[in-house]
Chains A and B, each alone.
Chain A
Amino acid sequence: MGAQKKGATARVSEDSEVVAHHPLQAILLADSFTTKFRPITLERPRVLLPLVNIPMIDYTLAWLESAGVEEVFVFCCAHSKQVIGYLGSSEWSSKPDFSVTTIEANDSISAGDALRLIYERQVIDGDFVLISGDTVSNMSLTQALEEHKERRKRDANAIMTMVVQQSKPSPITQQSRLGTDELFMAINPDTKQLLYYEDKAEYSKGFISLDKTLIADNPSIILHNDKQDCYIDICSEEVLSLFTDNFDYQHLRRHFVKGLLVDDIMGYKIFTHEIHSSYAARIDNFRSYDTISKDIIQRWTYPFVPDILCGSSAIKLERQGIYRASDVTLSRSAQVGSFTVIGQGTTIGNNTKISHSVIGEGCSIGSNVTIEGSYIWNDVTIEDGCKLSHAIVCDGVTMKLGAVLEPGVVLSFKVVVGEQFVVPAYSMVSLIQQPTQQDSDEELEYADNSSGIVEVPYKLNGEISSDLSNTQYGPTPELGTGGVGYIWSIFEGGHDEEWRHSVAPIPTDKLAKIMLDKDEDEELLTQGGNALVEELKSDSEDDDNEGSRDDYASFEKEVEATFLRAVHENVKVDHAVLEMNGLRLSYNIAAVDCAAAIFYSMMKLAVESSHSSASELHRNAVEVITTWQKLLKSFLHDIDEEIEVILKFEEICLESAKEFSPLFPQILHLLYDKEILQEDAILRWADEKEGADESDKVFLKRSEKFIQWLREAEEEEED
């Protein structure tokens, strides 16, 4: 290893004292700064969660050691005591050529904070590997490092090399394999420079825009959607100072990488290193936990596989990928299927069937149990007749007679599931109550840093109720007779998402939907992701094509945001018109819908400004309409569009803002007065409605007087 390091950044070693052998350093972030593994991570940090019965951090450290890294700084934040305690007691603290130093911080909320802190400590002096503690890899760093150093010699601005892996550009593979979003990268094929980086979660427009200077500056660009980010970066020390200079950088990819890519003042460059046959992946969510576990069992991560990593604890690989510890007590009639791991001291009863699962140490599994695709950690008790499919069961859980876990269930530490109880699919169950309000800061992984073991669990069958007073659920036995634990409710926006990140395979209908979205994407050049879009209005257009409806919904949302901004920032009406037009074109929406959307946002503004009575509301509406009439008018070119606005107004009164319904005739009159609506339009609307159902005619009746007056006025004119 020493040989390849002697070329280490000549520039750097000049000012530091002359050391011929520059140790390769690594920063390992033992905190993911996300909440994806809740509720488990409330009690134990992610890096210590067992992955095929070995804590994740061991895979990362083992890889770093074998890749020639000599000094690792483990940054721990949440549950730092647990991480430090674990590292102190493990073999890692006593390796001769591999030092593991922990850096503890309690107030960091992002990777950016962590790197800033490490910069302050001044422990890094040269190139380092930046990795998160939940990464599994077996790649060789030699080549990537050499490339990185070679580039650094030529160009001091090449400060980072990002490891990417090829993956099949199948539309769903990335999502269904690792549960990550689709990633777009633009790479210069000659220099391997990264020019553009975009993960889908970030943009909402359905297209990606490349700066035209990119194309001007680079003779060739390849835009990839078949690359997977391994989250292994080889960085120069400038990276740390950059984080310090830009104190708003939080997220490594979202802020730092994108920040560097758009910033052409400093001219820093990021390059990529592609790996083909070796393995590297990061466990970001439950789905990737499942996938990577299976990859490990299938030995893609060789030599970091259970039978080798466990070493002396003697797990033997048997036929068909069954890993079995030496002292497993297995009933003669138990059936252990392929690709299963069974840890030490586990007993398995009669007629139990296990397949594609990982079972930890010291578990006792009764008779007639079916376990399929599940991850059972240590010291779990599963009584007779239980059924588990695609679930994660943490340490110390007890499942009583005949309990059933449906796909995607996560049982956190020490939960007890009552007899015959069926835990519904995708449930998260924990002894800790769900934090009542979600932290607005999504970067926080854990509720608090106290890292303590939980307070006394509240027994749901009412025997003991230690904190009955502050429970939000009351004494209903949530997990059946004798069950202990809370089922977490799925929080906002999560309902559509839960299947995405769970350990269970994606249901076929969802899979079909992703495929459908993709097809639409290609046709409309708009972003799919229907499932992601929250629907603003309920389905008045059920018969409509689902895709276009969602497009409209997101358009409407966008219009509203633009309008509100225009109001708050006193944008000139003309400018607002321009912006609306731009928006309309980009979404490919007809002028009719646009006018309706604008009207909708105006009304919403009126409703949302403070009002106590109908008259005040009326005044608000008058004010808004008077100020912004020009904006609305510029989208109303003919009578059809005006009718559309009236229909929209009706809809608003019926659904989103019922406060308006008594004011309907007044506002209609107002619109007429302001010459937004012509009388023809109103009359035609009235005529159309004449033939409609009774229920539809509520507003027509209310404004009967006004229409009557209009008609009379018309007749008079004719006379």
Chain B
Amino acid sequence: MPGTQTLVNDFISKLKKRKIEGSQATAKQTAELLRSVISQTRVPYTNQAAALIQSVKAVGERLIAANPVELAVGNVVRRILHIIREEDLSLTTAAMAGLNLSAVSDDEDDADRDNQPVLSAAAIAAASRSTLRPPSLQTLLEDVPDSAAVPHTSSSGGDSEGKSKSADKSSRSRKLKHDVIEAVNELIQDISTCHEQIAEQAVEHIHQNEVILTLGSSRTVLEFLCAAKEKKRSFRVFVSEGAPRYQGHLLAKELVTRGLQTTLITDSAVFAMISRVNMVIVGAHAVMANGGVIAPVGLNMVALAAQKHAVPFVVLAGSHKLCPLYPHHPEVLLNELRSPSELLDFGEFSDCLDFGSGIGAPLLHVVNPRFDYVPPKLVSLFITDAGGHNPSYMYRLIGDYYSADDLVLQRRATSGN
């Protein structure tokens, strides 16, 4: 598969050079890349799922190593591994069910193949899954069978039923791949529409005449606020500029063009302004399994200020930002230190960075971290594309999306390459 190999290398070099900005873009591209990896993987007769998992893992490890800070890469890799496992499981159970069913109702096969077996296969798959692991949050909350969550399974299950038993095994290999690719397509779809799905919930959270504070710029936040605006809510937004990259300026500009009443403040003015704020709404870089948030630098301070004044602190995060790891996990690289030139001009300060005189070491150190860690107790609510959740529920949500087997992808950090 030379084609994918170059694609993978290309993507890795982009990741390494930090050419891809934003977790959504990264997540989407990762998913697309893995989709082509899956489609090009030759699957053996037996144990196709293992082969797929193997190849996805191999590529995934390299992708994660290329930019360990961008947790979305790892998240998507794990999501896809989870999808492969799920599909495999549902196919196995469907096959088992098929055997049972065909034994019972061999002649009905033609007549009912559109409805009845479909349901039964899906139901059995769901049942078998629920016996294997704790019921998902969604099933508990909504009390519906999993078929809604994985609609594609049902259709494929129907197809499988149509095949003759002898052909069943050989078709399964193609089937699994096909199903997986379908599911990955859906994941890509989910990722690209996560903003809209989150934004749909805006009216439930933003009320008339409220004052919202946000920091820096996040596309999710922008869409969220605009969605509320479109629903004729009138409210005001305080935008903290988000030094040193000052993306808050861009957000303020964008909000104003959409007709929102906007106030731009410095980061250091947050505490002074927080008492007038009804809600803090921010984006996140990643949400950890414990409900802690890795967020743009400065947000911990905002969260503390919000707590002090009992202002709700709401974090918007697409499901691709849910990271199944805990922040103390050794594989998680919490922060990235960017160039000091974002803070100050190299030319202007070149005399402070003079190593030739004095003790041979610069007296001026410039530290420019990209992220803050906001502990779960400071977060009031997470809004994901699956709805609003309390920080302490995050691990259940994560259980829906990831398999426990995939949590540790890298045996050793050095094993790649």
Question: Chain B residue with minimal CB distance to A172?
Answer: B357
Decide if A149 is an interface residue (CB 8 Å cutoff).
no
Residues of B within 8 A of A562 (CB): none
In the complex, chain A residues 372-408 whose Cβ is within 8 Å of any chain B Cβ: 372-373, 390
Provide the bound-state CA to CA distance between A110 and B351, in Å: 32
- On whether the beta carbons of A311 and B355 are closer than 8 Å, the reply is no
Residues A168 and B347 in contact in the complex (CB < 8 Å), given A314-B413, A504-B360: yes
What are 27 A-to-B residue pairs whose CB atoms are below 8 Å? A166-B348, A166-B350, A167-B347, A167-B350, A168-B351, A173-B351, A177-B356, A276-B345, A277-B341, A277-B345, A278-B346, A279-B341, A287-B356, A298-B365, A299-B337, A299-B338, A300-B341, A302-B337, A303-B16, A303-B339, A311-B16, A311-B65, A311-B417, A312-B417, A314-B65, A505-B356, A505-B360
Question: Chain A residue with minimal CB distance to B12?
Answer: A311
Residues of B within 8 A of A226 (CB): 347
Residues of A within 8 A of B145 (CB): none
- On whether the beta carbons of A300 and B340 are closer than 8 Å, the reply is yes
- On whether the beta carbons of A308 and B357 are closer than 8 Å, the reply is no
Interface size on B, residues (CB 8 A): 44
Residues of A within 8 A of B361 (CB): 294, 339, 355-356, 373
Provide the bound-state CA to CA distance between A279 and B345, in Å: 10
- On whether the beta carbons of B340 and A299 are closer than 8 Å, the reply is yes
- On whether the beta carbons of A298 and B417 are closer than 8 Å, the reply is no
Provide the bound-state CA to CA distance between A228 and B341, in Å: 17
Once A and B bind, how many residue pairs between them come within 8 Å at the CB atom?
Answer: 139
Question: Chain B residue with minimal CB distance to A291?
Answer: B355
Residues of B within 8 A of A279 (CB): 339, 341, 346
In the complex, chain A residues 504-540 whose Cβ is within 8 Å of any chain B Cβ: 504-506, 508, 511
Task: Give the contact-size bracket for chain A.
Answer: 35 or more
A 482-508 to B, binary, CB cutoff 8 A, 1 in contact else 0: 000000000000000000000011101
With both chains docked as a complex, state the minimum distance between the C-beta of B42 and any C-beta of chain A, in angstroms. 23
Residues of A within 8 A of B345 (CB): 166, 276-277
Decide if A670 is an interface residue (CB 8 Å cutoff).
no
- On whether the beta carbons of B337 and A96 are closer than 8 Å, the reply is no
B 2-34 to A, binary, CB cutoff 8 A, 1 in contact else 0: 000010011001001111000000000000000
- On whether the beta carbons of B354 and A177 are closer than 8 Å, the reply is yes
A 296-320 to B, binary, CB cutoff 8 A, 1 in contact else 0: 0011111100001001111011000
With both chains docked as a complex, state the minimum distance between the C-beta of B358 and any C-beta of chain A, in angstroms. 6
Decide if B178 is an interface residue (CB 8 Å cutoff).
no
- On whether the beta carbons of B6 and A96 are closer than 8 Å, the reply is yes
Provide the bound-state CA to CA distance between A5 and B10, in Å: 21
Provide the bound-state CA to CA distance between A290 and B362, in Å: 12
Binding site for A on B (CB under 8 A): 6, 9-10, 13, 16-19, 62, 65-66, 333, 337-342, 344-351, 353-362, 365-366, 368, 412-414, 416-417
Residues A173 and B413 in contact in the complex (CB < 8 Å), given A276-B345, A311-B65, A312-B62: no
Residues of A within 8 A of B414 (CB): 312-314, 326-327, 344
- On whether the beta carbons of A168 and B350 are closer than 8 Å, the reply is yes
Provide the bound-state CA to CA distance between A226 and B340, in Å: 21
Provide the bound-state CA to CA distance between A338 and B365, in Å: 10
Decide if A465 is an interface residue (CB 8 Å cutoff).
no
With both chains docked as a complex, state the minimum distance between the C-beta of B4 and any C-beta of chain A, in angstroms. 13
Question: Chain A residue with minimal CB distance to B16?
Answer: A311
Provide the bound-state CA to CA distance between A166 and B390, in Å: 51
- On whether the beta carbons of A300 and B339 are closer than 8 Å, the reply is yes
Residues of A within 8 A of B362 (CB): 294, 298
- On whether the beta carbons of A278 and B337 are closer than 8 Å, the reply is no
Provide the bound-state CA to CA distance between A277 and B339, in Å: 10
Question: Chain B residue with minimal CB distance to A173?
Answer: B351
Neighbour of A170 across the interface among B342, B351, B358, CB < 8 A: B351
Residues of A within 8 A of B9 (CB): 96
Residues of B within 8 A of A299 (CB): 337-340, 368
- On whether the beta carbons of A166 and B347 are closer than 8 Å, the reply is yes
Neighbour of B360 across the interface among A165, A277, A390, CB < 8 A: A390
Decide if A295 is an interface residue (CB 8 Å cutoff).
yes
Question: Chain A residue with minimal CB distance to B19?
Answer: A66
Residues of B within 8 A of A327 (CB): 414
Residues A96 and B347 in contact in the complex (CB < 8 Å), given A299-B368, A314-B413: no
Decide if A55 is an interface residue (CB 8 Å cutoff).
no
Decide if A666 is an interface residue (CB 8 Å cutoff).
no
- On whether the beta carbons of B355 and A277 are closer than 8 Å, the reply is no
Residues of A within 8 A of B348 (CB): 166, 168
Question: Chain A residue with minimal CB distance to B415?
Answer: A312
Question: Chain B residue with minimal CB distance to A326?
Answer: B413
Residues of B within 8 A of A176 (CB): 354-357
Most chain A beta carbons < 10 A, residue from B9, B356, B359 = B356
Decide if A138 is an interface residue (CB 8 Å cutoff).
yes
Residues of A within 8 A of B338 (CB): 299, 302
With both chains docked as a complex, state the minimum distance between the C-beta of A260 and any C-beta of chain B, in angstroms. 26
Question: Chain B residue with minimal CB distance to A316?
Answer: B333
Provide the bound-state CA to CA distance between A380 and B362, in Å: 26
Decide if A179 is an interface residue (CB 8 Å cutoff).
yes
Residues A295 and B353 in contact in the complex (CB < 8 Å), given A96-B6, A276-B347: yes
Question: Chain B residue with minimal CB distance to A178?
Answer: B356
- On whether the beta carbons of A173 and B341 are closer than 8 Å, the reply is no
Residues of A within 8 A of B368 (CB): 299
Most chain B beta carbons < 10 A, residue from A95, A301, A302 = A302
Provide the bound-state CA to CA distance between A527 and B27, in Å: 61
Residues of A within 8 A of B333 (CB): 316
Residues of B within 8 A of A308 (CB): 16-18
Residues of B within 8 A of A321 (CB): 365
A 324-351 to B, binary, CB cutoff 8 A, 1 in contact else 0: 0011000000000011000010000000
Decide if A433 is an interface residue (CB 8 Å cutoff).
no
Provide the bound-state CA to CA distance between A308 and B412, in Å: 18
- On whether the beta carbons of A302 and B339 are closer than 8 Å, the reply is yes
A 170-207 to B, binary, CB cutoff 8 A, 1 in contact else 0: 10110111010000000000000000000000000000
Most chain A beta carbons < 10 A, residue from B65, B337, B339 = B339
Neighbour of A177 across the interface among B18, B66, B341, B350, CB < 8 A: B350
- On whether the beta carbons of B355 and A505 are closer than 8 Å, the reply is yes
With both chains docked as a complex, state the minimum distance between the C-beta of B161 and any C-beta of chain A, in angstroms. 45
Provide the bound-state CA to CA distance between A506 and B359, in Å: 9
Most chain A beta carbons < 10 A, residue from B17, B342, B359, B416 = B17
